[in-house]
Amino acid sequence: VRETMGARIDQEHKRVILPELKMSNADLAKYDRIYIVACGTSMHAGLVGKDVIEKWTRVPVEVAVASEFRYRDPIYTDNTLMIVISQSGETADTLAALREAKKSNVTVLAITNVVGSSVAREADEVLFTWAGPEVAVASTKAYTSQVVALYLFALYLAQVKGTLAAAEVAEVVDHLQDIPAKIASLLEDAEQVRRFAESTKGVNSLFFIGRSLDYAVSLEGSLKLKEISYIHSEAYPAGELKHGTLALIEDNVPVVALATQPDIYEKMVSNIVEVKARGARVLGFAIEGDTDLAKSVDEVIYLPSTLPMLTPILTVIPLQLLSYFASVARGLDVDKPRNLAKSVTV
Ligand code: F1P
C-alpha cells in the first residue's frame, strides 16, 4: 500500500500527482463516463473504486465482470474511459475486454502489478500497483494496492475536475498515509479472528452482510473464503436480505456483519437484529470507539478509525485473515487452492 502511494503523493502540497499519465489534464477532465472491467478480486476492488470515483468526481461508473463484458455491446460515448484492473495483467477475459474496447477506440487505463504484462503493454495508460510479487495464488495485497491506486486516481480526477477542494484532498491524503501502520496493527492483532475462524470448522455456509462500501468489501471477504477455505459463503447487501435470503438464516449460521459506515449505521444494526432474531451467530465489524454494536452481536472486531471512505482497505485485512485461518484449521494448503491459477489465461 505504501509503495502504491509512493511517488504519487506531493507531501508539500498534500495532493496527488500521477506522473506516469501521458494524457493531459484537459483530456482527463473530459471523461464523463467510466467502465471498470476486471475479474475476481480485481473486480471487487473496482466496486470500491466505483463508489469512491462517483462520490469524489461525480462521474458515473459502471463495474462489469470481464467474462460477461466481452460479449456485450457497450454504449461508449466520445468521452468514455475504460479502467481495466488485473494483478497479473494476463487474465484472458480482462484482456479480451480491453481488446474489444480498443477496437472501438476507447481509451483504456490499466491498473496492474506486472510491468511488461499484456494488459500493461496494450493499454493506453498504466498505473502500476508496485505490490511486489504475489507469492500465493489468491490475491490479497493485490486487492489493497488496487484499491489504493483507485483512490489516488479518483483524487487526481477530482483535482483536475475541481470537484473536491484542496483541503478535502489534503485530508484524504493525510489519512491514506496513516493506513499502512493501521494495516500492520490489524495483522499483528489477529487472535480474535483466528478463534472465530476455528469455530467455523464444522460449518457449511457463512454469510457476509454490509451496506454500500461495506457490501463491496464483503464480496471480497466471501470470495476469499470460497477460494482458499472451500466454505460456501454469500455476501449480501444487508437491506436485500428481507427479499428472500433471510430464509437461510437459522440457528448458529455464522454471519459476518460489517458496520463501519456512519451514515447507514442504524439501518445496518436493524438488519443485524433481524439475523440475530433467527438465531445467527454474528461477528460484527465496527470502528474503534463504537460502544453500541457489541450489544447487538456475539462479538466485535474493532478497526482503527479512518475516513469512512477509506475503511475498505482496513476491513479487508481481518476478512482475509478469516479465510486464511479457516483454511489452516481445515488442514488445507492456503497457498495452493484447488482449481485456481495465478493468472486465468483460458
Ligand atoms: C483475477 C483473479 C484473481 C484470483 C485468482 C484468479 O486475476 O480472479 O482475483 O484471486 O488469482 O484470477 P487478475 O486479473 O487480477 O490477475
For residues 31-35, average pLDDT: 97
Pick from 251, 193, 248: nearest CA to 225:
193
Q: What is the pLDDT of residues 188-240, one digit of tens each?
A: 999 999 999 999 988 989 999 999 999 999 999 999 999 999 999 999 999 99
Residues 106 and 237 in one domain: no
* Residue after which a domain boundary falls, among 153, 182, 211: 182
Question: What count of residues does the chain have?
Answer: 346
Query: DSSP for 37-84?
Result: EE-HHHHHHHHHHHHHHHHHH---EEEEEHHHHTTS-----TTEEEEE
Number of domains making up the chain = 2
Residues 195 and 157 in one domain: no
Give the whole-angstrom CA distance, residue 138 versus residue 335: 7
Domain contains 336: no
93 confidence band (pLDDT: 50, 70, 90): very high
Ligand 1 centroid to residue 143 C-alpha, Å: 10
User: Which residues' Cβ are closer than 6 Å to ligand 1?
Assistant: 39-42, 86-88, 91, 94, 137-139, 340, 342-344
Give the whole-angstrom CA distance, residue 267 versus residue 280: 18
Domain contains 223: yes
Ligand 1 centroid to residue 85 C-alpha, Å: 10
Ligand 1 centroid to residue 258 C-alpha, Å: 24
Domain contains 335: no
Pick from 329, 302, 280: nearest CA to 190:
302
Domain contains 125: yes
Residues 10 and 137 in one domain: yes
Joined grid coordinates for residue 102: 480498443
Residues 144 and 268 in one domain: no
Pick from 127, 83, 75, 84: nearest CA to 104:
75
Q: Can you tell me which residue has the cell 496492474?
A: 112
Name the maximum alpha-carbon separation found in the chain.
58
pLDDT tops 90 at residue 346: no
Q: Can you tell me which residue has the cell 442504524?
A: 266
Query: Which CATH number goes with the domain that contains 258?
Result: 3.40.50.10490
Q: What percent of the chain has pLDDT over 70?
A: 98
Domain contains 346: no
Atom 8 of ligand 1, nearest CA residue: 40
Domain contains 279: yes
Domain contains 302: yes
For residues 157-184, average pLDDT: 98
Q: Which of 37, 42, 48, 118 to mutate to test the pocket of ligand 1 (most atoms within 8 A of CB)?
A: 42
Give the whole-angstrom CA distance, residue 86 versus residue 108: 13
Residues 128 and 42 in one domain: yes
Q: Domain range spanning residue 79?
A: 2-182
Distance of CA 171 to the CA centre of its chain: 21
Ligand 1 centroid to residue 90 C-alpha, Å: 9
ipTM: 0.96
Q: What is the pLDDT of residues 265-324, one digit of tens each?
A: 999 999 999 999 999 999 999 999 999 999 999 999 999 999 999 999 999 999 999 999
Residues 176 and 36 in one domain: yes
Q: What is the pLDDT of residues 183-192, one digit of tens each?
A: 999 999 999 9
* Residue after which a domain boundary falls, among 132, 147, 182: 182
Residues 164 and 282 in one domain: no
Residues 135 and 221 in one domain: no
Residues 297 and 312 in one domain: yes
Residues 178 and 201 in one domain: no
- DSSP code of 280? -
Could you give phi then psi for residue 56, rounded to 5 degrees? -85, -25
| Residue 92 Cα distances to 42, 66, 268, 278, angstroms | 13, 9, 38, 43
Residues 241 and 173 in one domain: no
Domain contains 221: yes
Q: Which atom of ligand 1 is nearest to the CA of 227?
A: 10
Ligand 1 centroid to residue 302 C-alpha, Å: 29
* Residue after which a domain boundary falls, among 136, 163, 182: 182
The angle, 0 to 180 degrees and rounded to 10, between the axes of the packed helices 166-188 and 141-161 is 170
Q: Give the contacts of 28 (CB within 8 A, at least 6 positions apart).
A: 21, 156, 157, 160
Q: Can you tell me which residue has the cell 462479538?
A: 299
Ligand 1 centroid to residue 240 C-alpha, Å: 27
Task: Give the helix ranges, DSSP H, for the chain.
Answer: 2-5, 25-30, 40-57, 66-69, 92-103, 118-122, 141-161, 166-188, 191-198, 213-229, 265-277, 311-329
Q: Which atom of ligand 1 is nearest to the CA of 138?
A: 10
Residues 169 and 297 in one domain: no
